[in-house]
Amino acid sequence: MTTNKQGTIEKIFVHQKEIIDEWLHEQFAALSARQDLISELDLRRQSTEFLALFTPACSTDNLTDITQSEWKPVLDFLGSVSRSRAIQGFSPSETATFVFSLKQPLFARLRQEVGADAVLLANELWNTTVLIDKLGLYTTEVYQKSREEIIKHQQAEMLELSTPVVKLWEGILAVPLIGTLDSVRTQVVMENLLQSIVDTGSSFAIVDITGVPTVDTMVAQHLLKTVSAAKLMGANCIISGIRPQIAESMVHLGLEFSDVVTKATLADALVYALRQMGFVINKPA
């Protein structure tokens, strides 16, 4: 742990206004292409708030061990800034620039304060470099975690949107599938379908695979799991949208759907379900 017994770095913050102005200049120079994401007013506010927390932390004997309690308010604030910038669309390097761009103003003030003492200046510059580097790396770590959380949330939302459960008729539900069907998506399909069966009391569920490009052994197993889950909930499941190419592939793979009602189109599946419910379907004259 590097200590701050000389107390030099906190002394330079008597020039806080000048430091903020110089810091803002450095930040806008680095973020010249992204000024549409944050205004000068917001950037000044964030910079002022940061220095208000950073200054007392620098006044302690512990200068570079940011795991200590005196640095917690600083880390909390940087975490908040990093998460907000991840949402706004800043890159990791642009986010870290918020901290790294503070080096130039601090170095300039340190040279003015202790420039006559080369040894002390070297020590203070090194301590400040270590401190700023650690804080900058911390912002990058928080940014990365925030982006991962955002991506996971977006993926979950896309799965929900890509597996809608549609009520076609009283007692008849349909799940139109488009794209590749994997284990994660199958789980979402089953959960949405089973919950909809419970909510609507439906007795028929149509799984339409017209938009599924290929059906291999794994996809077939996923479909059968969905059908079995629906049956356990008391709903008859129909698979529709089996095109000739898919039917041929299923035969070659030796896939068995003997216990499952299959139809060529969603319309055929709906007609079948309606007839099973006692409706009479007549073609127009």
Residues 70, 14: one domain?
Answer: yes
Number of domains observed in the structure of the chain = 2
Residues 45, 176: one domain?
Answer: no
Tokens found for residue 237: 């499941």
- As a residue count, the chain comes to 285
Looking at residue 116, which CATH number applies to its domain? 1.10.490
Residues 61, 193: one domain?
Answer: no
Residues 65, 105: one domain?
Answer: yes
Output 13-19 pairs: Cβ under 8 A, ≥24 positions apart.
Answer: 13/51, 13/55, 13/58, 15/109, 16/51, 16/55, 18/105, 18/109, 19/51, 19/105, 19/106, 19/109
Residues 14, 94: one domain?
Answer: yes
Q: State the pairing for strand pair 166-169/172-178.
A: antiparallel
Q: Is residue 197 part of a domain?
A: yes
Q: The pTM is what?
A: 0.60
> Distance (Å, rounded) from C-alpha 47 to C-alpha 80?
13
Domain encompassing residue 261: 166-276
Residues 135, 271: one domain?
Answer: no
Rg of the Cα trace of the chain? Answer: 31
Last residue of a domain, one of 135, 155, 175: 155
285 residues of the chain, pLDDT tens digit each: 454 444 566 667 777 888 889 999 888 887 654 667 788 888 889 999 999 999 888 877 777 789 889 999 999 999 999 999 998 888 898 899 999 999 999 998 888 888 788 888 898 889 899 999 999 999 999 999 998 888 887 777 676 666 788 999 999 999 998 887 777 777 788 888 889 999 999 999 999 988 888 777 777 787 888 888 888 888 999 999 887 877 777 777 776 677 788 888 999 999 999 999 998 877 766
Rounded alpha-carbon distances, angstroms, from residue 192 to 65, 71, 188, 199, 219: 49, 46, 6, 10, 18
- Dihedral angle of Cα 258, 259, 262, 266, to the nearest 10 degrees: -170
Q: Is residue 1 part of a domain?
A: no
Looking at residue 184, which CATH number applies to its domain? 3.30.750.24
The answer to whether the beta carbons of residues 189 and 166 sit under 8 Å apart is: no
44 burial type by CB count under 10 A (0-12 exposed, 13-18 middle, 19+ buried): middle
